[in-house]
Structure formats: structure tokens, C-alpha cells
Amino acid sequence: MKSGYQREAGAGADPGSASFICSEGSRVNGRQTAQLVLAGGSVVTMDPSRPTAQAVAIRDGRIVAVGSLEELGPLVGPRTRRIELAGRTVLPGFQDAHVHPAMAGIGLLRCPLHELTRDLHAYQAAIRAYATATPDVAWVLGDGWYMEAFPGGTPRAADLDAVVGDRPAFFVNRDGHGAWVNSRALQVAGINSDSPDPGDGRIERDAGGVPSGTLHEGAMEIVRRLIPPPTIEDRARGVLLAQAYLHRFGITAWQDAWVTPADLAAYRLVAERGDLTGRAIAGLWWDRERGGEQIDELIELRRTGTVGRLRAGTVKVMQDGVAENYTAAMLHQYLGEDGRPTGNRGISFVDPELLKLHVTRLDAEGFQVHFHALGDRAVRQALDALEAARRSNGPTDGRHHLAHLQVVDPADLPRFKALGAAANIQPYWACNDRQMVKLTMPYLEPERAALQYAFRSLLEAGARLVGGSDWTVSTPNVLAEVEVAVTRISPEDRSAPPFLPGQAIGLHDALAAFTSGSAYVNHLDQDSGTITVGKYADLAVLDRDIFGPDAGPVGDARVLLTLVEGATVHEDDGLQWT
């Protein structure tokens, strides 16, 4: 424990009684009372030493007691504020271990498409309205379109030209691996029939070889590098918008999985102003067009980017793309429209042998490595790199983790535990949505398709599960993510059949992934992730007892209150304060 805190038990307490803590030199006897007590609910602590309780007491930003109403009675004084839970659930504040708030915030300042009806006409209407309202903006920018809204998952420049043809337009899809551009953007970037595909991407073309309006992976950069960058104040405003949005869903800490130097500067500005209310872990972006020479720069960014609640000790390495555009690195070939092997096994963005060298050096320098590894070949390459680092450096406290894990070869499942690699899962994708049914399943060999999102297999193999949303790719609503992990059915269509239901996990395990699991990879587990005496009072209050027999789908539950160190960062109606 830190700052003079110590564990104590009430007089005559047994191991099941409340735990108490008070500042040095004071006693829990009525003279040292709590500033806030949450009482009369279902406190799900995620702490195995005391899994449940009825009440939590808070003082000076820390949890000072967890127990029954009677046990916490001595801590309630005339100036103690009390929240009547009325049977509702209290959980540790959620932690999202793979999310993109810096990007999402900028998107919220532009033309976001995420929450629209997933069809061309809805997108066109929104873009037309935005373009009309911003006639002085040189580029019309936005994000959030769904591949399933377009034939083959690839929108056409002509459809964007119809609503904005006078200025270049650039719209990134919801997963960040493709962009919809208009003809003006193609022209400005010099992309035509003679333009070659970059080594790490693809220009979508029509039957005649003419660029059709979709740019995959690295091909996006041909246009994106021409877009005027947002100012640091714009980025800071975006971080604040994204932070408020995350707090609405009970999220008190997160790992931003794509932080450029400009993003880090914005985070630092927000932190220095005292406005960073969440705990942010910056995943510094590994530039795959460069090599090990960038590590010294990352070391300096870590030094300057660690301020207040901001930490910058993680490096994000994107090793492959996504299955829907055939860039996820697979051990087996993708199938074509005719069901036959295509010869395409996706893209490894970093040479596997160089990856071993870079990861070994990063590990030795004390960095955590956060991999994007979606296909089974990318997963194996990431694990091989961690194995090389372990051989060279011995065990470290890097808490490295692999995100997405859409397909993991069974032979690699036990390697997660052996290497201490955490499995960073995005549960919302593990369902029979239209993207899975139309754009994924037909193009994977059936035996590989049957391996997708193997949460239970990873858990049974001893892997530590940690939860991330990948927002804005999918919702940051942790409770919706948890529902899919448990049911393998999307809350958007609960009548759909479950997707590989044998890989479902239990409600407690799913919640643990977004609390104690993510706190572990965020290196925040000593102070958060469970409701334990002495830890920060980072808490989420839900609108119901989610373990109760009449709770309904967990994804329908709402977060009524989010606390960080006992301070309110989000409050909804329905709570009673006294």
C-alpha cells in the first residue's frame, strides 16, 4: 500500500468481515468517517478474497472499507454523503485495453458515420449535410462507414462524388483499414490506372483497372499524407470529447492503441491542464516503414509523455490487417468468390525476423509491446518475437499483449501462458453479424473459420484475457461487449444464431477481462481493477443487479455513475444521494 495506507480489520473480525483502511494516525471508531458510502447494492469486487459485498466506503480518493451495511456503519458520520444503490450493481471502473480515443475524438469533430443506418443513402445524406455546413473546409473528412453497406465491402468514388465533388473527400471505415475517397481526392493524390499498389496495401479497381474509390491499408496513406493535420488544440478537444464518451460507459482507464507524437502532445496538454480525468496508457505507434532506429525516439517520447494520469510506456506494433480485405496474415490461403484457394495469405507488415529483433530491444528497454495480430500467422509471428525476447532478456514485467486474435492456430494456444502474453479480445466481433456472414466466412477455409474468436479455448489454455473495444471500430459499451462474449450473439439482433457458441465464456470471466485483466496489462492493477481496500475509488454503478434472475440482457444495462478517485466523471439520472 502507498501514502501511509494500511490494511486493518474491525475488532474481532473474521476473514469474511469488512476490511478497513484509514490514514496514518487515525482510527475507524467514529472519529475518522468516510466522505462517501455506496450502500444497499450488489458490490461485485472482482477480488477473489471477497467476491461480493453490500457497500463501499471512500475517503481521499481511496476505498477505505468494503463489507456489509452493518460493518460499514461506524464509517458513516454526519458529513458522509451516501448513495442508495437499491440493489444495483457496483463494479470496478472498466478499463478498455484497446481503444482509439485520440482518433475517435478527431472523428467526432468531423463527420462521424458510425451510428447511422448502414446504407449508402444514409451516409450520403450525412456527408452532404456536413459538406454544405462547412463550405470553407478544404477537405471533407469523416469515418465510421461499415463495409457491409456496400457490395463487396468496397464503396465507389462516384457515390461520394454525388454529394461532394468540389473538394477532396476522405472517409475511413469503421475498422480503420480502408478509406472511401472521391474522384477529387484520387486526382489530388495522383492515383490512376498506372499507379502501383504499395507493398502494404491495395488500390481497389474496377474491371478495367481504374481505381474505383476504396483504398486498403497502406494505400490510404497516399491520400492521407496530403490532408492538413489538425492543430494540437483540435486534438486536445478531441481527447476531451472521447474521454467524456468513455466515462458514459463506466470506463475509467484505457490503452490508446495508436498514439502518434502529435496525439501524445495533445494528451500531454490535457494532462498538464489537469483535465485528464481517466487514466490513459499511450500505445506509441511503431512506424513500420522504419526500423530499430526509432527506438531511441520512443524512449524520449516515454520520458516526456508520462504526466499525471498519462503513461507512455507501451509501443503498438501492427503486424497485419483484417480478414475482410484479405490483409490479415494467415497460415492458409484465402478463398475466392468461387470457393477456391487464391494464393493470397495476407500481409505481414513487419518482417518476422526483424520483428524478433525489435521486440527484443523494446522488451530490454522496459517497454510493453501491444501487437495487432488478427490472423493466425500474425499471432504466431508475434509469439515468436516474444519468445526471442524471453530467450535474450529472461522474464520481464512487460505484460505484452496480442490484440484481436480472430484466428489462433490451436498449437499456439498454450504459448500465451508459457510466454506470459495476454490475450486482448474484442468480444463484439464474435457474432453472426452481416460482416461475418458476408465478408468473412465465405473467404476462409471452413476449418480455419471454425477457429475464430476462441475465447474459451484461450482461457482454458491458461491465457489471461483482457478486454478492449477497438472503438471506433465497434462500440465502447463494455456491457454490450460482455453480452457478446457470453452469448456469442449481437445485441443488435438477438434472434440470430450464436456464433461458435462453444467459445462463449461466463459473465464473471467477461467482466474480469474489462476490469482486473485490463488493469493488469495497463500496469494499474496495484491501484485499480478490483474493489479492494486501499485501491483507488474508480467505480461504475449500473442501473440493475446484472447477476439477478430478472436482470435481462446485460447489454441493456446502463451505467448511472462513474467515479475516478471518488470524484464523479459521469452521472445519469436515477441515483439517490443523501
Q: How many CB atoms lie within 10 A of CB 207?
A: 6
Residue labelled with grid coordinates 444464431? 497
Q: How far apart are CA 557 and CA 514, in angstroms?
A: 16
pLDDT above 70 (res 13): no
pLDDT at 21: 40
**CATH 3.20.20.140 in the chain, residue ranges:** 232-521
**CATH 3.10.310.70 in the chain, residue ranges:** 110-224
pLDDT at 248: 97
Please give the mean pLDDT across all residues of the chain: 93
Percentage of residues of the chain with pLDDT beyond 90: 89
Q: Is 66 left (phi over 0), alpha (psi -120 to 50) or beta?
A: beta
Q: What is the largest CA-CA distance in the chain?
A: 83
Query: If pLDDT is split at 50, 70 and 90, which confidence band does 127 have?
Result: very high
Percentage of residues of the chain with pLDDT beyond 70: 94
Question: Region 347-360: what's the mean pLDDT?
Answer: 98
Query: If pLDDT is split at 50, 70 and 90, which confidence band does 215 have?
Result: very high
Residue labelled with grid coordinates 469503421? 174
Question: Does domain 110-224 sit in CATH 3.10.310.70?
Answer: yes
Q: Kindly report the pTM of this predicted structure.
A: 0.87
Q: What is the pLDDT of residues 305-332, one digit of tens each?
A: 999 999 999 999 999 999 998 999 999 9
pLDDT above 70 (res 25): no
SS3 310: strand
Closest by Cα among 510, 574, 518 to 541: 574
Asked whether 145 and 155 are in contact (CB, 8 A), the reply is yes
118-151 per-residue burial string, b: 16 or more CB within 10 A, e: under 16: bebeebeebbeebbeeeeeeebbbbbbbbbbbbe
Question: Region 414-430: what's the mean pLDDT?
Answer: 98
Q: How far apart are CA 500 and CA 494, in angstroms?
A: 15
What letter represents residue 266's amino acid?
A
pLDDT at 20: 42
Q: Phi first, then psi: give them for residue 145, nearest 5 degrees.
A: -75, 150
203: enclosing H helix or E strand = strand 201-205
Closest by Cα among 353, 433, 392, 395 to 175: 433
DSSP assignment, residue 438? Answer: I
Angle between helices 376-393 and 352-364 in degrees, nearest 10: 40
- Nine cell digits for residue 20: 478497513
DSSP assignment, residue 552? Answer: -
Which CATH superfamily includes the segment(s) 6-93+532-577?
Urease, subunit C, domain 1 (2.30.40.10)
Asked whether 360 and 392 are in contact (CB, 8 A), the reply is yes
Q: What is the pLDDT of residues 27-59, one digit of tens each?
A: 445 448 999 999 999 999 999 999 999 999 999
What torsion, rounded to 10 degrees, do the Cα atoms 418, 420, 422, 423 define? -10
Question: Region 161-173: what's the mean pLDDT?
Answer: 95
Q: How far apart are CA 228 and CA 214, in angstroms?
A: 20
Q: How far apart are CA 518 and CA 509, in angstroms?
A: 12
Q: How far apart are the first and last CA of the chain?
A: 31
pLDDT above 70 (res 543): yes
Q: Is 190 exposed, middle or buried (0-12, 13-18, 19+ CB in 10 A)?
A: exposed
SS3 544: coil
Q: How far apart are CA 563 and CA 575, in angstroms?
A: 13
Which CATH superfamily includes the segment(s) 232-521?
Metal-dependent hydrolases (3.20.20.140)
Q: Minimum mean pLDDT among 197-206, 256-265, 271-280, 452-461: which range?
A: 197-206
- Nine cell digits for residue 496: 440470430
pLDDT above 70 (res 1): no
Q: How far apart are CA 380 and CA 441, in angstroms?
A: 21
Parallel, antiparallel or unpaired: strands 559-564 and 539-542: antiparallel
pLDDT at 6: 27
Residue labelled with grid coordinates 440493475? 544
Q: Quick one: how far is CA 473 from the chain centroid?
A: 9
Q: How far apart are CA 303 and CA 384, in angstroms?
A: 29
Residue labelled with grid coordinates 508520462? 306
Q: What is the pLDDT of residues 101-126, one digit of tens each?
A: 999 999 999 999 988 888 999 999 99
Q: How far apart are CA 102 and CA 261, in angstroms?
A: 11
Question: Region 256-260: what's the mean pLDDT?
Answer: 97
pLDDT at 31: 47
Asked whether 427 and 484 are in contact (CB, 8 A), the reply is yes
402: enclosing H helix or E strand = strand 401-404
Q: How far apart are CA 572 and CA 250, in angstroms?
A: 11
SS3 322: coil
